[in-house]
Structure 1
Amino acid sequence: MLDYAALKQQFDESPGELPVCSNPSQDSDALHFETETQPKPQGLTGTRLRSYAFAVLTRKEYSKADLIEKLALYALDRGEVLKLVDELAKENYQSDQRVAEMMLSSQKRKGKGPNRIKMALKSKKIDSSLIQDELKETDWNEQAYQLKVKKFGLEVEKEPKLKAKQIRFLMYRGFEMDAIMQAISRKAED
């Protein structure tokens, strides 16, 4: 162990000189100082956490659950994060409704059906009832037909293997069986 009082006295007497250690095994001990100061806690609090939340929300819309998880990674106190996210939701800076609507339009553009959209919302911990009206208003039969035409063409298949392939494709995309059957049996002139 080091004698801190002796070291301090030695450095105070001759500020320009460094002490020479005669025993090399003591060199490694000299590097391990015992400090009585406690490490500072890492994490954001108060206005810094709020600023980070605004910075995150300006780049991308987050669901309430995703925002809580994102902020909790950097925050010191999870309770403060929950309180902040509730406040941001009240002030409409964060909105699950907006996230759901954006996800709906994005998934529809990608050719996804109602079941796939509901699964995507569930994975983001968003209630699908937020966009229930929009889901009902969409013509899923037409969406399925357009996707079928894009992938397989206008021809109505008579061969069971090819029909099964189209059904599997549209089921994977999240369409209901009624919409699928109408899409694969619909003729171009209909």
Structure 2
Amino acid sequence: MPAPQLSLKARALRYLSMREHSRLELGRKLSRYAEEGEDVAALLDFLEKNNWLSQERFSESLIHRRSARFGNSRIVAELQSHGVNGEALQELKAGLADSETARACEVWQRKFGTVATDPAERNKQMRFLLQRGFSQKAVRTALQGAPEDDDD
């Protein structure tokens, strides 16, 4: 016996129970299953009104998941691709900027751990951090080595 067909609302709640979604992302997922006469936008408005769908929670969740591995520019680009714009994006950028250098040092320490001795290795380390979305200032600081090593 086949499983019963889920309603659009049940499907949305199922997605949201797994993890936070942006309005744009959830709308895209639900539009595949919307039948004629069903209004995805009205359902998304209902979910936001009941605080089951929240752009702020989604943004915080994405930043929490990505900040240990990626730099500001990569995280901001991903937020923009999910439809986070305007003042909310500016506030999130400001919050990320405070910790970027420390995060770059941590990522560098986990991946490499030792200061590069030759230019080829230094370029490799620099490319790695830049591809992860860290700023050049954070990369230069990280490539100088972990601050904990200076105390020894």
TM-score (norm 2): 0.80
- Distance in structure 2 (CA, Å) of the matches to 1:114 and 1:98: 18
Hey, what does 1:123 align to over in structure 2?
A: 81
- Distance in structure 2 (CA, Å) of the matches to 1:147 and 1:83: 42
- Distance in structure 2 (CA, Å) of the matches to 1:174 and 1:83: 36
- Distance in structure 2 (CA, Å) of the matches to 1:167 and 1:141: 14
For residues 30-61 of structure 1, the C-alpha deviation after alignment (integer angstroms, 9 at most, x for no partner) is: xxxxxxxxxxxxx98xxx33233223322222
Match of 2:72 among 78, 95, 114: 114
TM superposition shift of 1:113: 0.8
Maintained 8 Å contact 1:141/1:179 = yes
- Once the two structures are superposed, the pairs formed by residues 33-182 of structure 1 within 5 Å of their partners are 48-77=7-36, 80-109=39-68, 111-127=69-85, 128-129=89-90, 131-137=92-98, 139-154=99-114, 156-182=115-141
Q: Which moved more, 1:173-182 or 1:49-58?
A: 49-58
- Distance in structure 1 (CA, Å) of the matches to 2:10 and 2:123: 53
- Distance in structure 2 (CA, Å) of the matches to 1:164 and 1:76: 53
Indicate the percent of aligned positions where both proteins have the same amino acid: 30
Q: Which has the higher contact order (CA 8 A, sep 6+)?
A: 2
For residues 74-126 of structure 1, the C-alpha deviation after alignment (integer angstroms, 9 at most, x for no partner) is: 112477110110121122110111111111111123x2111111122233333
TM superposition shift of 1:173: 1.0
Maintained 8 Å contact 2:22/2:82 = yes
- Distance in structure 1 (CA, Å) of the matches to 2:60 and 2:72: 13
Runs of 4+ displaced beyond 6 Å: none
- Distance in structure 1 (CA, Å) of the matches to 2:110 and 2:8: 47
Flag the structure with larger Rg: 1
Structure 1 residues 160 and 115, CA gap change in structure 2 (3 angstroms): same
Count residues in correspondence.
Answer: 142
- Distance in structure 2 (CA, Å) of the matches to 1:151 and 1:98: 30
Gaps of 5+ in 1: 1-42
TM superposition shift of 1:148: 1.5
- Distance in structure 1 (CA, Å) of the matches to 2:34 and 2:42: 12
Gaps of 5+ in 2: none
- Distance in structure 2 (CA, Å) of the matches to 1:126 and 1:91: 20
